[in-house]
Amino acid sequence: MSKPRVRPRTKKERGRLAALPTNMSEFSSRNNALSGISGDQRRAIQELVELLNQHNLAELEVERGGFRVRVRRETGAAPIAATAWEHVPAAQEAPAESPSVSVSSDTSGMVTITSPIVGTFYRSPSPDADPYVDEGDLVKKGQVLCIVEAMKLMNEIESEVDGRIVKIMAESTKPVEYGQPLFLIDPAPTS
User: Considering only 31-39, 59-67, 84-92, 163-171, which stretch makes contact with another protein by CB under 8 A?
Assistant: 84-92
Contact 159, 143 (CB under 8 A): yes
**Closest C-alpha among 97, 99, 98 to residue 181:** 99
Minimum distance from residue 40 beta carbon to a second copy (Å) = 11
Q: Please, which of residues 76-115 interact with a second copy by CB under 8 A?
A: 76-78
CB 145 within 8 A of CB 138: no
- Residues of this chain, 28-57, that bind a second copy according to CB under 8 A: 41-42, 44-49, 51-57
Amino acid at 77: A
Report what 175 binds from another protein, a second copy, none; CB cut-off 5-8 Å by kind: another protein
Sheet holding 119-122, edge to edge: 6-9, 153-158, 144-150, 119-122, 175-176
Q: Is 127 in the site for another protein (CB under 8 A)?
A: no
Contact positions toward a second copy, by CB under 8 A?
41-42, 44-49, 51-78
